[in-house]
């Protein structure tokens, strides 16, 4: 299911520890999955609140951390991410 940027932002702002949003990315944009969640290191000084991880099913690597949910929501929608 494709979500609009505003819908992704709303879901991100309601995150509790351990919750994530997982999207499949079309092969046009490299394929694989993108997972958005709370950054487990966010309590450390200088750490950002949200973390985007990308990779293949079962193995993802940190890609981008930010305090702005709109940045990650835009990244996913620009790549036509499909919510799993």
11-64 per-position pLDDT tens digit: 999 999 999 999 999 999 999 999 999 999 998 998 999 999 999 978 999 999
What is the strand order of the sheet 33-38 is part of?
59-66, 50-56, 33-38, 20-24, 82-83
Residue 53: closest CA among 44, 17, 40, 10 = 40
pLDDT band per the 50, 70, 90 thresholds, residue 84:
very high
Q: Which two tokens stand for residue 1?
A: 């299911």
Q: Which two tokens stand for residue 3?
A: 């979500």
How much is the pLDDT for 57?
Answer: 79
């Amino acid at each position: 299911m494709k979500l609009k940027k505003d819908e992704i932002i709303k879901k991100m702002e309601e995150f509790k520890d351990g919750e994530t949003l997982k999207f499949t990315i079309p092969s046009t944009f490299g394929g694989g999955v993108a997972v958005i969640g709370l950054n487990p290191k966010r309590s450390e000084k200088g750490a950002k609140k949200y973390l985007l991880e990308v990779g293949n099913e079962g193995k993802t690597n940190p890609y981008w951390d930010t305090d702005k949910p709109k940045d990650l929501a835009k990244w996913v929608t620009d790549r036509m991410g499909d919510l799993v």
